Amino acid sequence: MGVAKDPYLWLEDITGDDALAWVRAHNEPTLDELSGDRFEAIRSEVLEILDTDARIPYPSRRGEHLYNFWRDEAHPRGLWRRTTLDSYRTDDPDWDVILDLDELARAEDENWVWAGPEVIEPDYTLAMISLSRGGADATVVREFDMRTREFVSGGFALPEAKSSVSWEDEDTLLVCTDFGEGSMTESGYPRIAKRWRRGQPLAEAETVYEAEPTDVRVIASIDRTPGFEHTRLGRYTDFYNRIRYEVRDGELIELKVPTDSSLSLHREWLLISLRSDWQVGEVTYPAGALLGTKFDDFLSGTADLTMIYEPDAHSSLAGVQWTKEKLILVTLRDVASHVEVVTPGTWERSDAPDIPPATDTIVVDSDHLGDEVFYNSSGFTTPSRLLYGTAGGSLAEVKSAPAFFEADGIGVEQFFATSKDGTEVPYFVVGRRDEPSPTHLYGYGGFQNSLTPGYLGGAGRAWLARGGTYVQANIRGGGEYGPGWHKQAMRENRHLVYEDFAAVAADLVRRGITTVEQLGASGGSNGGLLMGVMLTQYPELFGALVCSVPLLDMKRFHLLLAGASWVAEYGNPDDPADWEFMSKYSPYQNLSATATYPPILITTSTRDDRVHPGHARKMTAALEAAGHRVLYYENIEGGHGGAADNKQAAFRAALTYEFLWQTLGSSRD
């Protein structure tokens, strides 16, 4: 029997006094129930990890300097700062502060959250800095002079919107923003790109390209690499498909590649990463492959395509990064990373030297105007190490993070659960394994996002050190085994995501790692939808659930904020054929007044302008109306990330772990 089909639509009003009063009335009992000595201990421990100076300050090369954005206890909103490589390699680098965001927020009486700079290359003299109010996706964008360390009086400035900008020259920008009525797509993103010249009113900027209102967004970017300048325009027709053009002498030249492929253009080289099989002449290149060729040859139709990387049943492409002369290739094999260095032209591959074995390794930064590269390597119980060197050359450790929890006796194992259709689904178990223990199972399962074995600093201190077990499920919908792992679970096959996660939950109990009463799960955003489905479809598998910034009302998700952009992932509920399969799992529509549900904590953010907080509010109200136990917390700031600074992130983590320990581990207290 379903409950609460539509009575709670008023909770979608993000600014309404009634809705905000409802939020406050629900926050208070949740905090009353979860606050206490253990909550404060967890919050303090996590905040200590987030704020400690012993963290690695991850760098980004811009010209002669390495830049870093840093938050700590004294600077909760953060510092944009820089240093030299020589200074960075010392134990105590000499940081030169370019912008103090806390000082700016105080001076302007705004709750600014850093959203990043667009810096002009190769000059590195000007930046368009994006600032978010409270962590929202929409930002204010303002011109900043990196020489004077001041915002440019009378310079380029955009009001709050989901904007993007790219430098054409020091007096010209390509701008995608809200230009007024009719300039945004149904997904809430800009659909028009304009060329905006210094001193010109924004309303008079020249239109250079328009997407359709039904598209997700417009694309506009400029590469200013000397001798290899490129301007690209285009449009996302849905979340995964885009039509792209190179601009040559004022003309648009369409790039004839599969619309669902990803491109990387570097100097004279073009890389094509395939999501679907692509037949070129008599050759069929498989989904998941990486192809390389010379860009001008590709435009002229004379390209000689080389398959740089071909996936197999156990491996997938995780990412590529360029230095000036080399391509860095990161792949996953059964969710373990492998790094290779590729020489363009010959496309010969060799293992990157000095990468620690049995770690998750990513490229932190690579210099596309030189051959410098920084790697970060870590594991679930192995703190991060920052490695520095040149692409293909030897590497040296330049920074390392401390251990934030005692890992002796804590093991890491990979298992495979058999899903309902027979698919083997990998998952990692991190814990002591001496007896069934309170277990935190985490999953996502969407948009081809892969979950890899990174260091569990906060979870290690807040959960593992207290005797808990942590599990990470690599279910379909992610990208751990390439685009096929994701595409299998799109739209009408979405049920596979939930069957995979349920199979992992059941396998944990079958192996004696935990019990149903001790098994909790959490997820956010698309993972919050996963938690909603676990609640309504598989409640018998869990002792507790934590559902963060979630999608839950799949009948209306496409009408709220950026929801229309995800129709390609989930389906269109206005299409009866699509709603037929979506209605079977949509959590809000499948609530039952008679079912027995595990306790659930639902969290969201008032400033989330990506997934509407109305999803979380309505679900909470409907659960209460049906007589189920639910705790609710809504952060007034935070955006889709749920937290605007380290204090808020630590507070949110403490809510999660205190709730899970109260419901799953109280017998150990």
Nearest to 275 by CA among 260, 285, 263, 290: 260
Element (H, E) at 85: helix 85-88
Which residues are within 8 A (CB) of 456 and not within 5 positions of it... i.e. 6 or more apart?
380, 381, 405, 430, 464, 470
| Residue 6 token pair | 């539509």
Amino acid at 303: A
In the beta sheet, which residues pair with residue 161?
Answer: 139
Write b or e for each residue in 74-91: b if 16 or more Cβ atoms lie within 10 A of its Cβ, otherwise e. ebbbbbbbbbeeeebeee
8 A C-beta contact, residue 621 and residue 4: yes
440 is catalytic: no
Which residues are within 8 A (CB) of 96 and not within 5 positions of it... i.e. 6 or more apart?
65, 81, 82, 83
- Interhelix angle 526-537/495-510, rounded to 10 degrees, is 70
Which residues are within 8 A (CB) of 383 and not within 5 positions of it... i.e. 6 or more apart?
400, 401, 402, 403, 404, 455, 457
8 A C-beta contact, residue 546 and residue 666: no
Nearest to 269 by CA among 246, 293, 253, 247: 293
Three state DSSP letters for 371-431? CEEEEEEECCCCCCEEEEEECCCCEEEEEECCCCCCCCCCEEEEEEEECCCCCEEEEEEEE
Give the neighbor-by-neighbor strand order of the sheet with 75-83: 60-62, 65-72, 75-83, 96-100
315, 525, 586, 605: which one is catalytic? 525
- In Å, how far from its chain's centre is CA 186? 22
- ∠ CA 642-648-651 to the nearest 5 degrees? 105
640 is catalytic: yes
Q: Which residues are catalytic?
A: 525, 640
